[in-house]
Amino acid sequence: MAATGRVLSTAEERREAVLSTAVSSFAARGYYGTNTTEVAKRAGISQAYVYRLFPNKEALFVAVVEHCFDLVRDSFARGAAKARSAEPHEVLMAMGDEYAKLIADQDLLLVQVHAQAAAASEPSVREVVQRSYARTVEYVRSVSGADADAIQYFMARGALCHLVVAIGATEIDAPWANTLSAGLRHY
């Protein structure tokens, strides 16, 4: 039998491809508006194969949320490595700058917004969001050396960045929009 030259991907590679596709699907329509049929179609695989990788939509969404938080931690690590000094404020500023670059990808930002909304009524989503924020806060604490007040301010500023980017406040020249976006850097 002659080789076709086709290289089959591993289950882990397929899983990563489905996660990437699912990020854009969930970003566009949220947890409640996205179905696994749409994800499968966009990934170019069967819905049955999606279910081989993830037992249900909830498990897929939880994996997507974890994936997005991993990307956030990776951006924080890049920022910490670029900090001008080891002083906590400098480390936090560098981490925030890298995060601002990351959320220029609207899909990642929207998944985070949708996850926070779904966490209000879906226990498994709430658990993954809580667990992910816990790991993120502890990572920020360990890498920056900042105190609790500085970390709270850093996280609150990140939440404000979500709002400003999600509603397009930087594109509006009005006092309220200028107030919300003052001092925030977006890419």
pLDDT on residue 1: 47
Q: With contact defined as beta carbons under 8 Å apart, do 64 and 111 qualify?
A: yes
User: Whole-prediction pTM value?
Assistant: 0.88
Q: What is the mean pLDDT of residues 65-71?
A: 96
pLDDT on residue 7: 54
- Measure the CA–CA gap between 20 and 66, rounded to whole angstroms: 12
Q: With contact defined as beta carbons under 8 Å apart, do 132 and 159 qualify?
A: no
Q: For residue range 82-131, list pLDDT tens digits in order.
A: 999 999 999 999 999 999 999 888 899 999 999 999 999 999 999 999 99
Residue 171: CB atoms within 10 A of its CB come to 9
- Here the contacts of 40-49 (C-beta below 8 Å, separation 24 or greater) are 43/17, 43/18, 45/14, 45/18, 49/14
Q: Is the pLDDT of residue 5 over 70?
A: no
Average pLDDT of the chain is 92
Q: Domain extents for the chain?
A: 57-181
Q: Is the pLDDT of residue 29 over 90?
A: yes
